[in-house]
């Protein structure tokens, strides 16, 4: 059996674009995370996304989340979708 590279993103607590959580722009942070994965770990076979995807569960934040993670260069899944 060969090794398998898996990426995990957890507890993003995403807020909708333009909204901050404790002084942090969560969408910009997730954008940066996905860009880093794309640049340095595009050889991973899977990305598993766990924990709280959004902070308040609003539809706009979930839509922003989907828009961002669709840029991942590998298949992704979350037990919370």
Q: What is the pLDDT along the chain (81 residues), one digit of tens a residue?
A: 999 999 999 999 999 999 999 999 999 999 999 999 999 999 999 999 999 999 999 999 999 999 999 999 999 999 876
Question: Angle at Cα 66 formed by Cα 25 and Cα 19, nearest 5°?
Answer: 20
| Residue 70 in domain | yes
Q: Is 32 within the bounds of a domain?
A: yes
Which domain range does residue 70 map to?
Answer: 6-77
Examine residue 1 and state whether it is found in any structural domain, yes or no.
Answer: no
Summarised one tens digit per residue, pLDDT across range 55-65 is 999 999 999 99
Q: Does residue 81 contact residue 51 with C-beta atoms inside 8 Å?
A: no
CATH of the domain at 68: 3.60.21.40
- At 79 the pLDDT is 85
Q: Do residues 16 and 60 lie in contact, with contact meaning Cβ atoms separated by under 8 Å?
A: yes
Q: What is the structure's pLDDT at 81?
A: 65
Specify the number of domains making up the chain.
Answer: 1
DSSP-derived letter for residue 45 is S
Spatial distance between the Cα atoms of 33 and 35, rounded to a whole number of angstroms: 5
């Amino acid at each position: 059996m060969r090794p398998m590279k898996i990426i995990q993103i957890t507890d993003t607590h995403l807020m909708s674009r333009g909204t901050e959580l404790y002084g942090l722009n969560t969408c910009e942070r997730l954008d940066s995370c996905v860009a880093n994965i794309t640049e340095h770990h595009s050889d991973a076979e899977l990305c598993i996304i766990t924990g709280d995807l959004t902070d308040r569960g609003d539809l706009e934040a979930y839509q922003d989340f989907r828009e961002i993670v669709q840029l991942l260069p590998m298949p992704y899944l979350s037990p919370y979708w």
